[in-house]
Amino acid sequence: MKHLQTFRLIEAVARAGSMRRAAEDMNITASALNRRIRGFEEEFGSELFERLPGGVRLNPAGELLLHHYRATLSDLARVQGQVADLTGERRGHVSLACSQALLPYFLPEQIAAYRAEHPRVTFSVKVRDRAEAEQELATYDSDLALVFEPIYLVDFEVIQIVPQTVHAVMAASHPLAQKAELRLRDCLDTPHIAPSARYGVRHLLDFAARKGSRQVSPVIETESFEYMRNYVLHEQLLGFQIPIGLQAPGDGSLVFRPISARDVPAGSLILGQRRGRSLPVASARFALSLAAALKARYGPEIV
């Protein structure tokens, strides 16, 4: 425990890549920070950083130590949560990395419901793409990830999987709005707005298009699904989204139509944590709550 503050300083230096910048971030002098870390390295018996002309970076020993620090913080938070449960008053903090689609409707509902029962539990909700979310778990920066079509799944322990069919999003006045289901060729032959390649929806569209010797050629490419949903109300374009991020407006101006699974198979929305990690109590309980809500809404998990 006595070295926790030193570990925080080491983490700050690793993040900043510079003693000077880290000292500014931590509001101490660079010389004091350097002495603190040098002293710890002597006590620890190994240097933690490579000293480079343009700054510093963790060496393998430093990476191992930082991993130990983050695991220690996770274990400490778990014990603190267990102690809080002994008093009958659940406290704690839940850190969640998620895809954009979870922001408008699903997560606000779930977090509000959980906090109604446990008002002393706080949350961090971070929007991350499918690669970034997995990295958040690996570095202990997030307890949970809820992400569409994750890439690697190396350090990812799956808690729940639910299918999500890609939908076309359009104004109610769009000619294709009268169809109950769209074929991919309908979408590709129509001017469209699409997410960039880093997102799972685009990955599925690109893969399906290539199988048919076609390509996704959006007139507008965006990082924001909210922008996409709003833009199609201004021009006769098709957008794309998964159903958990969609809700029909009361005025009927926006409609959603599934793209046939014959062309674009359903993707996977996956809730997970770092493999082998014992989550803090609040995060573990919230994960169970999320898993139950996903299963109730979309059916049993797919494997």
Last residue in a domain, options 88, 110, 137 = 88
Residue 198: which domain range? 167-265
**How many structural domains is the chain composed of?**
3
β-partners of residue 220 are 193
Predicted pLDDT of residue 302? 43
What pLDDT, on the 0 to 100 scale, is given for residue 187?
A: 94
Is position 303 within any domain?
no
Residues of the chain with pLDDT under 50: 86-89, 302-303
Same-domain status, 260 and 211 = yes
Say which CATH number the domain at 45 has.
1.10.10.10
- Same domain? For 129 and 208 the reply is no
> Which of 88, 109, 135 marks a domain boundary?
88
Q: How many other CB atoms are found less than 10 A from the CB of residue 150?
A: 22
Q: Domain end: 88, 106, 131, which one?
A: 88
Domain presence at residue 77: yes
Q: Interhelix angle for 4-16 vs 19-26, to 10°?
A: 120
Q: In this predicted structure, what is the pLDDT of residue 130?
A: 83
Do both 149 and 273 map to the same domain?
yes
Query: Residue 270: phi, psi to the nearest 5?
Result: -120, 130
Q: How far is CA 294 from CA 109, 157, 290, 298, 302, in A?
A: 12, 17, 6, 6, 12
Dist. CA 119–CA 62, nearest whole Å? 38
